[in-house]
Structure 1
Amino acid sequence: MKVSIDKSVKTGAAVHAKPRRKLITPKSAPYLFIGPAFLLTLIFTVYPIISSFILSFQEVRGVEKTFVGFANYARLFHDPVFYKALLNTAEILIIQVPIMLFIALLVAVGLHSSMVKAKAFFRISYFMPSITALVAASIVFMILLDERFGLVNYALSFMGIKSIPWLTSPMWAKISVILVMTWRWTGYNMVIFLAGLQNIPHELYEAASIDGAGKIRQFFMITIPQLKPVFIFTVVMSTIGTLQLFDEPFILTNGGPNSATMTITLYLYNVGFKYFEFGYASAIAYVLVLITAIISLIQMKLVGDFKE
């Protein structure tokens, strides 16, 4: 009798026992997969952004941090080197970006034409510079553009042109940086324009041909308007990249001669890692972010209105 009672009790307990909750459910599984990436983003992206913003209101001396309010930002308005770096960056932006995008568009149109053979070869050839390491490419150009022993001046000497001080003259140093940037990023933008050209319906060109529109008219009336999103993307991304210009002037000229190629990011690097003024460097970084955002919004508006 005792044994039967114990069995019934155990059986009843088993019937009324609650099922265990599963740790991993269909709803929680996606969060477990994105959890590590989200955590790494918080640690290595979100935290540095917040920390550097707080640091821009502080003065760092060794391990001591002192709150100085907007003193670092006010210092920017009285810093001639910052204005010089800002002007240099603006000059490179205004000259280099339109030239590069114009060449990229022409190359893309040429490679999109049915008259060109071996398209894959030319596409790879133009795109290869964009996957070349910036440091390696800059060192190669530094050797090529050497005033005394560079291959470029050696080739120019056969045409009776005197040696050009590519990296020692303020004007030519800036031109050298523009040349290296154009060489590296033209192929990258060419691929983007080429993708946009391939998405334009061929029926539009057939209809225009029937109406008597020539190739040039088709280019300006069909190709350019259809590439409006591509124009906006390339202009904005090229502008952001130019405002963040660092590797080329750092390796080619180290910001010289006479700060002629000193860019904002190069000046930021010098302030932070040469003079160890991390608070002031953080203020420069956030001013650069603000400038980039404003210019990008203006460009999106202007390009959008122009293409309407």
Structure 2
Amino acid sequence: MSAGRISRRERAAWGFVAPSLIAIAVFFVVPVLSAMLLSLTDFDIYALADLGNLRFVGLQNYERLLTNPLFWGAMKNTVVFSVLGVPLAIGMSLGAAVILNARTVKWRPFWRVVFFAPFVTTLVATAVLWNYLLHTKYGVINWAITSLGLPAVDWLGDPRTSIPAILLFVVWKIFGYNMLIFLAVLQTVPDDLYEAARIDGAGPWARFVNVTLPAIAPTLLLVSIISVAGFFQLFAEPYVMTQGGPAQSTVTVLYFMYEEGFKWWNLGSASAVAFILFMCIFAVTMIQLAVSRRLGGEHT
């Protein structure tokens, strides 16, 4: 009887998870395997018209990519976006969450809505709005700069300022999402821990380092993994704001993949780009997990 009950429970459990597993298989596993096979072929517009033109080329797509300077330029831009953007986004959102978590802050629900609103606003619409804000002649930002007697800046037309301009927009866009995650976990930290640290003479910074950070470490890891994956998959922002320019200074790996697949119709090469990007994100995620475990072991 006991074995029968366990068997029935297992069947019931599989019945509950089966729809999700089927959805994952249909919309994730099958497309991923198809893309992997596609990356080993020369699938292009001719093969799209007639599958008889499709040929198996093995690793030639990967070899061409690794010797393509345009791909390495896109990879460099992606790394720059990630290295600068992830710490900035996490630092600003965590700082805002700490401030909003203070008991003295008034209208907390209002500020949550204000900061979260950009995240749920259509990305293309906000990107177009920022294009106007950053416009060389008519933008509000340059109007403020010239009012101070300084020369106007060609934010999106100069390779030296195009990445910082897009980076500022991306951080502003995702700021509220990360902030709400941090705010939710900060509200679960017991006040007794802060009170004990205060009695021991710890100041605000010491309480933040020794109480807040250890308490929110798992959430901090989660947000960092999500942020890294998001910055590595940056596409819509440079596509709408600069079209990869000027001088390809804002072409990201995903933007390069889009052009390979849907501008030049080299779908086999585009699939290879997708797998290289996947391996990069996977490797960085594994490094983050390893560092987190090591730091967690040192603190225990």
State whether TM-score is above 0.5.
yes
SS at match of 1:259: coil
State how far apart, in whole Å, the 2-side matches of 1:158 and 1:306 are.
49
CA shift at 1:67, angstroms?
0.3
The letter of the residue matching 1:209 is R
Whether contact under 8 Å (1:228, 1:304) holds in the other structure is no
CA shift at 1:264, angstroms?
0.3
Whether contact under 8 Å (1:231, 1:303) holds in the other structure is no
Higher helix share: 2
Partner residue in 1 for 2:36: 53
- The answer on 1:219 being equivalent to 2:203 is no
Partner residue in 2 for 1:113: 102
State how far apart, in whole Å, the 2-side matches of 1:47 and 1:306 are.
37
Q: Single out whichever of 171-180 and 144-153 deviates more from structure 2.
A: 144-153
Partner residue in 2 for 1:262: 251
Partner residue in 2 for 1:192: 181
- Kindly tell me the number of residue pairs found equivalent between the two proteins: 284
CA shift at 1:286, angstroms?
0.4
State how far apart, in whole Å, the 1-side matches of 2:23 and 2:217 are.
36
State how far apart, in whole Å, the 1-side matches of 2:205 and 2:24 are.
48
- The answer on 1:156 being equivalent to 2:109 is no
CA shift at 1:296, angstroms?
1.0
State how far apart, in whole Å, the 1-side matches of 2:19 and 2:287 are.
37
Relative to structure 1, the CA distance from residue 32 to residue 125 in structure 2 (aligned partners, 3 Å threshold; closer, same or farther) is: same
State how far apart, in whole Å, the 2-side matches of 1:223 and 1:173 are.
36
The letter of the residue matching 1:162 is P
Q: 1:276 aligns with which of 265, 272, 277?
A: 265
Structure 1 gap segments, 5+ residues each? 1-24
The letter of the residue matching 1:198 is Q
Partner residue in 2 for 1:66: 55
- The answer on 1:99 being equivalent to 2:88 is yes
Structure label with greater radius of gyration: 1
State how far apart, in whole Å, the 2-side matches of 1:37 and 1:209 are.
47
State how far apart, in whole Å, the 1-side matches of 2:66 and 2:183 are.
43
The letter of the residue matching 1:265 is L
CA shift at 1:145, angstroms?
0.9
Q: What is the RMSD computed on CA atoms of the aligned residues?
A: 1.9
Partner residue in 2 for 1:15: none
Q: Deviations over 1:72-108 (max 9, x none)?
A: 1111221001100000010111111111111111101
Where does structure 1 differ by over 4 angstroms across 4 or more consecutive aligned residues? 25-40
